[in-house]
Amino acid sequence: MTVGDLGEFGVIQRISGRLPRTAAVLLGPGDDAAILKAPDGRVVVSTDLLIEGRHFRRDWSSGYDIGRKAAAQNLSDIVAMGADPTALVVGLGLPADIGADWLDALTDGFRDECDLVGATVAGGDIARSETVVLGVTALGDLGGRSPVTRSGARPGDVVAVAGRLGCAAAGLALLGAGVTGGSPDLVTLLEAHRRPRPPYPCGPRAALLGATAMLDVSDGLLQDLGHVADASGVAVELDAAALPVPEALSAAARELGADPLEWVLTGGDDHALAATFPPEVRLPPEWTRIGAVTEGGGVRVDGQTWVKGGWDHFRA
């Protein structure tokens, strides 16, 4: 059976029947709009667009993988503000000949990723499309906390990261080179590309610790920390020796003749969190100190400007 056989209403019913409700959702899919609780009085909102052939390939990732990835990259934006995710709203474009089983797997991916943070899909829309397109909006609640923005870093702050860096980029490079399996290290990187693992609890906890600036690393560590430097009017100095380079990255670099540090510094899609903290804050073990905030501007590694940047849709 395909989604074309189900029809638009049937697709919507099939999706909504596989999604749970949460305490934050007062009224879920089925009406013209959903109704959510906003106990803090403020709503944190972020949105992302995923396009087949640009952000994912169906021959490399299953429907379940794509659902997990689409949910993760939006939920990560919410925790990067120091907030707790509550719900997603999904706009979905599908070819008529795509299988109903693939749609079920996509829905299950959204559900399982949302379960990690206690959120759900509250609604959305669906239309016929030549390729798979997902427009995802995430909503969150600050729980009385102040938001952690990109503009609060101060000279003297420490720079730290939580989560994986460079693994998704290495996995993409492996797939691009035709590597679809191999050692456990390589398989770990392939899965990192298909399903990010954002360190969700670290965002709200960083806000409570007094983080002065924070964002999720979606376009590469250097590029994203450059946004912090620009917004805060400071410089970021990174220590290459402090950057985490797991053995899996080194294994992939040997396989492809690449530099693992380049993946760590410029690779996106892992959705790690990068933040700045006052120097007196004792960082939990989930956070790794990788540098410091100084006077000036831009981002440097061991005092040198790194020539290569991260991901930009419109860069030649």
Is the CA virtual torsion 62, 65, 69, 71 positive or negative? positive
Task: Check the annotation: does 269 bind a ligand.
Answer: yes
Q: What is the DSSP string of 97-147?
A: TSBHHHHHHHHHHHHHHHHTTT-EEEEEEEEE-SS-EEEEEEEEE-TTPPP
Q: How far apart are CA 261 and CA 78, in angstroms?
A: 28
**150 annotated to a ligand binding site:** yes
Return the H-helix or E-strand segment holding 88.
Answer: strand 84-94
- Torsion sign, CA atoms 73, 75, 76, 80: positive
Strands (E), 157-313: 158-162, 213-217, 235-238, 272-277, 288-294, 298-301
84 labeled part of a ligand binding site: no
Q: DSSP string spanning 22-87?
A: -TTEEE-BTBSS-EE--TTS--EEEEEEEEBTTTB-TTTS-HHHHHHHHHHHHHHHHHTTT-EEEE
48 is in an annotated binding site: yes
Alpha-carbon torsion 301, 302, 304, 306, what sign?
negative
Q: Which two tokens stand for residue 72?
A: 């993760």
Q: If you compute the radius of gyration of the chain from its CA atoms, what whole number of angstroms results?
A: 20
Task: State the CB neighbour count (10 A cutoff) for residue 205.
Answer: 17
32 is in an annotated binding site: yes
The contacts of residue 277 (CB under 8 Å, 6+ apart) are 157, 158, 160, 206, 209, 210, 211, 212, 283
75 phi, psi to nearest 5 deg: -60, -35
124 marked as part of a ligand binding site? yes
Which residue positions form the known binding site for Mg(2+)? 32, 46-48, 77, 125, 216, 219
Annotation: binding site for ATP = 124-125, 150, 218
Binding residues for substrate: 55, 269, 311
User: Binding site: what residues are annotated?
Assistant: 32, 46-48, 55, 77, 124-125, 150, 216, 218-219, 269, 311
